[in-house]
A and B are shown apart, each in its own frame.
Chain A
Amino acid sequence: EIVLTQSPTTMAASPGEKVTITCRASSSVSYMYWYQQMSDASPKLWIYDTSKLASGVPDRFSGSGSGTSYSLTINTMEAEDAATYYCQQCCSTPLTFGSGTKLEIK
């Protein structure tokens, strides 16, 4: 199965700071998907098809990447962005998720 390695595992960012979370796949995938999970809530689709923002996601978020390397970027961190973010690969069964990046506000 494809293993997804996210980095960093945890991080803290100040309001206004640029944040980048990476997801590396053990084999090439054609697309990556990202989910946001707040404490005690279900994951929410955040980015699909590598770079498309899900409905309601602020445009300070962006996604990019190809092959085995993908990233989620927040252009200017806001307090409401503090959450855990997971990547998910689409293309090889079983579908797999990264282990998550916990993003905190400084």
Chain B
Amino acid sequence: QVQLQQSGAELAKPGSSVKISCKASGYTFTSYYISWIKQTTGQGLEYIGYINTGSGGTNYNEKFKGKATLTVDKSSSTAFMQLSSLTPDDSAVYYCARRSYYYDGYYHDWFAYWGQGTLVTVSS
């Protein structure tokens, strides 16, 4: 079965960086893009961007450019997201999700499987 296993909770200081991992299993890793989503109580669910797990190509929500950097290690079927220059506003639960996408004259784009989430707390 498809599983996305994320790394554990992080406590970070303002101005520092964290790197979260998302290890995929149960399917061919390079057949699907991995997306990342931020969840906070105040802002709800926010789409960060995706990484092409085959080529390493990325696409970011403008809001998260410069904040998030997505990478992938095909050899271990693992996707990573680094968050830099952390502020308290970056405190959130971050999810990786397997993106399902196709175009048949209409766009179809959704998240069929989600990781368990990684809590990032930014505090001095």
Please report A residues at the B interface, Cβ cutoff 8 Å. Answer: 30-31, 33, 35, 42-45, 48-49, 54, 86, 88, 90-91, 93-100
Question: Which of A30, A86, A98, A100 is the one whose CB lies under 8 Å from B107?
Answer: A30
Q: Are B114 and A42 in contact (CB under 8 A)?
A: yes
B47 lies within 8 A of A43 (CB) = no
Partner-A contacts on B (CB < 8 A): 44-47, 59, 61-63, 95, 100, 106-117
Q: Count A-B pairs with CB separation below 8 Å.
A: 57
Q: A86-B45, A94-B63 are in contact. Are A31 and B107 (CB under 8 A)?
A: yes
Is A88 touching B117 in the complex (CB atoms < 8 A)?
Answer: no
Interface of chain B, main secondary structure: strand
Select one of B61, B95, B100 contacting A94, CB under 8 A.
B61
Task: Identify which of A31, A48, A88 contacts B106 (C-beta below 8 A).
Answer: A31
Residue from the set A43, A95, A97 with the largest chain B CB neighbour count within 10 Å: A95
Shortest A87–chain B CB gap in Å is 10
What CA separation (Å) do A86 and B76 show in the bound complex? 32
Instruction: Decide: A90 and B107 in contact? CB cutoff 8 A.
Output: yes
| A97-B117 contact given A90-B110, A91-B107, CB 8 Å threshold | no
A10→B62 CA distance, assembly (Å): 30
A6 vs B84: C-alpha distance when bound (angstroms): 32
Contact A42 B108 (CB under 8 A): no
Contacts A90-B107, A90-B110, A94-B62; A43 near B95 (Cβ below 8 A): yes
Judge whether A48 and B110 touch: CB under 8 Å: yes
Measured CB to CB, the closest approach of chain B to A40, in angstroms, equals: 9
Contact among A30, A42, A88, A94 for B110, CB-based, below 8 A: A88
Q: What's the nearest-Cβ distance from chain B to residue A2, in Å?
A: 11
Residues on the A chain within 8 Å of B112, using CB? 45, 48, 54
- When distances are taken between beta carbons in the complex, the residues of chain A under 8 Å from B117 are 42
Q: Are A97 and B108 in contact (CB under 8 A)?
A: no
